[in-house]
């Protein structure tokens, strides 16, 4: 019975790790507002899309993946060997798990994005990169929404 519990624990920890990584990712969508961005004034400008290019928005490395991966690796390492061999396995598992967790977090939070070059009605040309959650084409009329801190998003 004890061996089955040890076998299930790493699987459960792996599932929890995956959920934590996806849940911690901040949104870069033009449609998602953080709590800090609500109930404040935003400036609105209008313009025309000059260029729309796909990009990749790099994932985050907040440390959550490193910690969770290290914990999972340590648990897996503890089920190997005995005595000083087990201690080495725990340390090695924790280090390998931490590296793997960091890589997994970055990969899980990397998203497709779009780089939009927009000519505002006042003649100014701006570029905004955001999550690719809408389809934009050259010539589209868009709204450019900017808050007091400079956070800018493009909406159709």
23: pLDDT strictly greater than 70: no
Q: Are residues 12 and 69 in the same domain?
A: yes
Residue with more model confidence, 64 or 111: 111
Q: Are residues 41 and 54 in the same domain?
A: yes
Q: What is the pLDDT of residue 94?
A: 80
Q: Which residue has the tokens 């159709």?
A: 156
Q: Are residues 104 and 45 in the same domain?
A: no
pLDDT band at 86, cuts 50/70/90?
confident
pLDDT band at 26, cuts 50/70/90?
low
Domain count, the chain: 2
Q: Are residues 16 and 71 in the same domain?
A: yes
Q: What is the pLDDT of residue 125?
A: 99
Q: Are residues 7 and 21 in the same domain?
A: yes
Range of the domain at 118: 31-58+112-156
The sign one gets for the Cα dihedral 89, 93, 94, 99 is positive
Q: Are residues 63 and 102 in the same domain?
A: yes
Rg from Cα positions in the chain: 22
Output the average pLDDT for the chain: 81
Q: What is the pLDDT of residue 109?
A: 81
What H or E segment, with its residue span, contains residue 105?
Answer: helix 84-109
Over pLDDT 70: what percentage of the chain? 79
Q: Are residues 44 and 121 in the same domain?
A: yes
- Global pTM reads 0.61
- 33 vs 154: CA distance, rounded Å: 13
134: pLDDT strictly greater than 70: yes
């Amino acid at each position: 019975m004890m061996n089955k519990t040890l076998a299930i624990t790493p699987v459960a920890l792996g599932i929890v790790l995956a959920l934590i990584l996806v849940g911690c990712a901040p949104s870069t969508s033009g449609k998602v507002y953080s709590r800090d961005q609500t109930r404040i004034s935003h400036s609105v400008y209008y313009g025309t899309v000059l260029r729309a290019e796909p990009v990749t928005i790099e994932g985050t490395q907040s440390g959550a993946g490193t910690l969770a991966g290290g914990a999972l690796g340590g648990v897996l390492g503890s089920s190997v060997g005995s005595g000083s061999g087990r201690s080495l396995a725990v340390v090695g598992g924790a280090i390998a798990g931490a590296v793997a967790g960091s890589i997994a977090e970055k990969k899980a939070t990397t998203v497709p994005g779009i780089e939009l070059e927009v000519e505002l009605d006042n003649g100014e040309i701006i570029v905004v990169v955001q999550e690719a959650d809408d389809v934009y084409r050259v010539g589209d009329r868009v709204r450019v929404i900017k808050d007091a801190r400079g956070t800018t998003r493009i909406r159709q």
